[in-house]
Structure 1
């Protein structure tokens, strides 16, 4: 199946317009760096990191840019509250943002242009819009005239009057239309570090939010982007205004595909600083692993809302244990550490490895089919679980644990290749990038280990006695019930037991 991508602009899925081997340009709106990053800030980066991973696997050469807004009303107000400067605050919060991206294995961003590094280019764009009569000057700034753009509103599918009624517009008698937006603004009394020289009537000032992205996107990637991404909350006014000024300036389509990801929800409310329900990444990672968090953000289709809750994160953490147990099982059978497997990097390389139909190949094909349908990571993760279950059933059916001599021949080759397919799926989703940290037993680890071994020995003796008793009376199972009770109670304490022919092992988690 050919790759299909939904565009917010056309409101339908369309075949991707380029072929493998071509360069794909992708711009995703980044943060205004005035507060520490919360989990809502990571939704877009994790999703589009996965989009880039899959496009790269298909053979495309992807250049992905995420901007940093380091001059803005929020930054100015927050710096004043903290009695610091805008540059100092933005630098500190940018480093926090980078650390959060790294923790969640977002590795595909090629460059982070900063707004303050492109002031000259923004002024040139504004001058061009004035010359083409799409913008006009007043004594407090420069504004884009939405009435001059015949198809203004096409991205959000609303006419200007509807947008004016639904938007929070600052009343300004100097504007020609209520919906006109600032390209340049001059506000007396603002700190000198956020005021830049300009040729406009208003003099020193700073750029509007929307013109920043237009300038940085086109400067870095060209006049027509292949993909422009961002959160659904940016569709209007930010992306609508960005599109209007960009196409008015260049007379070319600004983006082939507009992709908008759904927002993170806590209960019935969107997670946002304005709502006061944010969970900072640094705090979240004290309670949950980064892999659990990334798994959550990919567990639905990217255009759907993501339900955030502690219960959901706990559920994902438990389900991930099934993968971790399989990875250990795979290493016992093959002698290969799962995390050391080098996954095929491209579709062509994978096809050479799987030149026949196998369990792994079948599930991998379904996995790619889900991603071909508008990057449906939710369905793709479902096939990840399907392959995990299939490989475990295969190992149980063949008896690799009890009969090591069976670990050869074509059936075992299918099993090992299935592990490679699982590894490749995880790599495309950005999962399983490092082994989970072992939970510490604390200072008394020797004592705890000794007590656990004593408990396992007692349980094993009980199991042996139960087997003997069952020979005389197969219906009498109280001793087996006791061994199951031990497993259950240990599980409630976070300890997992695994009974294998070579003995019983235990782990925390």
Structure 2
């Protein structure tokens, strides 16, 4: 089955309109950088980073743009409350956003245009819309006239009156129609000079919607292959973006509109406006970036993502806790690969395209095929994760049955099959952007003192076990020695440290 993608505009899945090898342009709306990034801000980047990874895997040449809104009413208000400047606040929050992307292995974004760097293009687009009769100046502001756009509302499949009734629309007595939206906002008394730009209509700043239209068309052309963003942006942002872009260029703005589902909690919606947000920086203190990415990708991108039970300050949400427990299956497998093959999981060689995949054993080839079928079905990462989990379970059974952890007992054919499967796991996980690496502390590599103390306890326990095994059955010390080894395991377990005895020695992990 060829790649099928659902578009909000057509409300159906259709074969992707490009062929492998051809260029693909993708624009995804980025953040307004006035506060730290919370978990919800990472949903879109993780999803579309995975989309790009899979398209690249198929052979497409993808260019992906994510904008940074660094001038906006929210920024002005937040900067004033924090007694700082808009540029300083925007720079600090942009760095926070970049750090969060890095932590979740979002690496595919090619351009991060900032609104303040593209004001000239916005002014040109606004002037063109005025010249064509789609927009009008009004007392220093400029508005888009929705009545002049015959198919306004087509993205939401509603007429303008329905859209007005179901949303919060900015009120102004300067508008011709209630649904008209600002392309340019005239400067207001008391606003800082750094948010005021010169224009033919007086000093002011661009409206939110025109920013994306100008930046997207500047960097990717008049017609995008994919336009993405959260479902909450469908109206008014994307509807208005579409209307002004197509009115300006006379061309389709985007061939495919992809909208990802939003985070939900048992107690309701996560939103900064009600103060119940989990910042990414705080979440990363509790779980690794791989776990957060895995949590997002467990669900099909168009469905809501369930955080479960959580209250501010209450630790990790139950949904992420469950994902963390499930993800340990993968991190333990990755560690096992290193023990069995002698090669660290991250250093396994990749399959070399279709030629490499064609040499897979039947069971591994079937897993690769089913993974691709899920991803071809509108980027169904939830199904793809399920296939990856089944593959890891099968390889673990093979390792158990053939005693692959014991170098003296491992048979070469079984070891080769396991290694091939491990390479496939690494490749498929890489398409999802998952490294399967355990946090450094789990492996004992993050703190030299902790690692040394743990090794001391492991050596002490090993000596006690050796003495106990060597003692005669009637020696009263035999049971006492074994009791001490059990005590060490139990006390470490109470601290959250698990010991695992293997033919090659004892390892430890947190959790």
**TM-score with structure 2 setting the length:** 0.90
Deviation at 1:207, TM superposition (A): 0.8
Q: Which residue of the partner structure matches residue 338 of structure 2?
A: 331
What are the residue-to-residue correspondences of 1:68-217 with 2, within 5 Å?
A: 68-189=68-189, 190-200=191-201, 203-217=202-216
Pair 1:57 & 2:57 matched: yes
Let me know the Cα RMSD of the aligned residues: 2.7
CA–CA distance in 2 between the matches of 1:95 and 1:39?
16
Q: Which residue of the partner structure matches residue 234 of structure 1?
A: 233
CA–CA distance in 2 between the matches of 1:502 and 1:380?
33
Q: Does the 8 Å CA contact 1:155/1:235 hold for their aligned counterparts?
A: yes
| Most deviating of 98-107 and 236-245 | 98-107
Deviation at 1:149, TM superposition (A): 0.9
CA–CA distance in 2 between the matches of 1:271 and 1:216?
29
User: Secondary structure, in 3 states, of the residue corresponding to 1:274?
Assistant: helix
User: Secondary structure, in 3 states, of the residue corresponding to 1:396?
Assistant: helix
Deviation at 1:355, TM superposition (A): 2.7
CA–CA distance in 2 between the matches of 1:457 and 1:388?
34
Q: Which residue of the partner structure matches residue 361 of structure 1?
A: 365
Q: Which residue of the partner structure matches residue 432 of structure 2?
A: 429
Q: Which residue of the partner structure matches residue 37 of structure 1?
A: 37
Q: Which residue of the partner structure matches residue 478 of structure 2?
A: none
Q: Does the 8 Å CA contact 1:391/1:415 hold for their aligned counterparts?
A: yes
CA–CA distance in 2 between the matches of 1:481 and 1:387?
39
User: Secondary structure, in 3 states, of the residue corresponding to 2:14?
Assistant: strand
Residues 216-247 of structure 1, C-alpha deviation per residue, up to 9 Å, x if partnerless? Answer: 00000001100000001000000000001111
Residues 29-51 of structure 1, C-alpha deviation per residue, up to 9 Å, x if partnerless? Answer: 00111111111111111110010
Q: Does the 8 Å CA contact 1:441/1:448 hold for their aligned counterparts?
A: no
Residues 350-378 of structure 1, C-alpha deviation per residue, up to 9 Å, x if partnerless? Answer: 44343354332211211111111111111
Deviation at 1:404, TM superposition (A): 3.6
Deviation at 1:482, TM superposition (A): 12
Pair 1:373 & 2:377 matched: yes
Deviation at 1:150, TM superposition (A): 1.0
2:326 to 319, 322, 325: 319
Deviation at 1:383, TM superposition (A): 0.9
Question: Structure 1's 196 and 507: CA in aligned 2 closer, same or farther, altered over 3 A?
Answer: closer
Question: Structure 1's 462 and 291: CA in aligned 2 closer, same or farther, altered over 3 A?
Answer: farther
Q: Which residue of the partner structure matches residue 476 of structure 1?
A: none
| Most deviating of 256-265 and 191-200 | 191-200
CA–CA distance in 2 between the matches of 1:186 and 1:123?
13
Deviation at 1:435, TM superposition (A): 5.0
Q: Which residue of the partner structure matches residue 222 of structure 2?
A: 223
Q: Does the 8 Å CA contact 1:105/1:433 hold for their aligned counterparts?
A: no
Q: Which residue of the partner structure matches residue 496 of structure 2?
A: 494
CA–CA distance in 1 between the matches of 2:132 and 2:142?
14
Deviation at 1:464, TM superposition (A): 10
**TM-score with structure 1 setting the length:** 0.90
CA–CA distance in 2 between the matches of 1:441 and 1:419?
28
Question: What are the ranges of 5 or more consecutive residues in structure 2 without an aligned counterpart?
Answer: 311-315, 475-481
Q: Which residue of the partner structure matches residue 261 of structure 2?
A: 262
Residues 366-421 of structure 1, C-alpha deviation per residue, up to 9 Å, x if partnerless? Answer: 11111111111111111111010010111222222346464423x43222111110
Question: What are the ranges of 5 or more consecutive residues in structure 1 without an aligned counterpart?
Answer: 470-479
